[in-house]
Amino acid sequence: MAYLKKSPWLIHYDASSCNGCDIEVLACLTPLYDVERFGIINTGNPKHADVFVITGSINDLNREVVKNIYEQMPNPKVVVAVGICACSGGVFAECYNVSGGVDQVIPVDVYVPGCAARPESIIDGIVKALGILEEKRAKMTEMEAVHA
């Protein structure tokens, strides 16, 4: 039973992005791309979310916030780093206040590079993430069966 793939709800967080990637994430929700036809909903609540879409690099101010959002999400969950800053820090990687990509704080499942990442590649990345989400769910059910 793989209903997770049919109804992924995502939460979008702007770490320290320039807003370029954020605009592209929101573009996915517009009538042109309309990701809701795959059941994807942008929730504002980590407790309802399955996919954590994060843009921008990690710095000392948002490190705890990112960790907190990730920990509030119920399992199974996946993280999609959108844009080159979220993947590796991008051109800001060497800045004194930037620690690097999102994977410095939480485990990232899918990297979507680009500056800014195009809506097509964001949707592609999320669809890839859904496969990983399904794997994680299968593993979780297996673990529950073992412990039960």
Partner 1 sequence: MISVLTAVLYLLLAPIAGGFIAGIDRKLTARMQGRVGPPVLQPFYDVAKLFEKEDVTVTPSQNFYILSYLVFMAVTGAIFFAGGDLLLVLFAFTLAHVFIVLGAYAAYSPYSYVGAERELITLMAYEPMIILTAVGLYLVTGSFYVSEIAASEVPAALYLPGVLIGFLTVLTIKLRKSPFDISTSHHAHQELVKGLTTEFSGPTLAKIEIAHWYETVVLLGIVYLFFGFNPLLALVAIAVTYFLEVFIDNTFSRMKWQWTMKEGWGVAVTLGFINLAVLYYFYLGV
Identify whether the C-beta of residue 16 lies closer than 8 Å to the C-beta of residue 46. no
Task: Tokens for 23, please give them.
Answer: 């605009």
Burial pattern 81-109, b for ≥16 Cβ within 10 A else e, equals bbbbbbbbbbebeeeeebbbbbbebbebb
Tell me if 48 contacts partner 1 by CB under 8 A.
Answer: yes
What mask, x for binding partner 1 by CB under 8 A, covers residues 117 to 146?
A: --------------------x--x------
Q: Which residues partner with 41 through β-bridges?
A: 9
What mask, x for binding partner 1 by CB under 8 A, covers residues 7 to 36?
A: x-----------------------x--x-x
Nearer residue to partner 1 within complex by CB, 47 or 96: 47
Applying CB under 8 A, which residues contact partner 1?
1, 3-4, 6-7, 31, 34, 36-39, 41-45, 47-48, 50, 72, 74-76, 137, 140
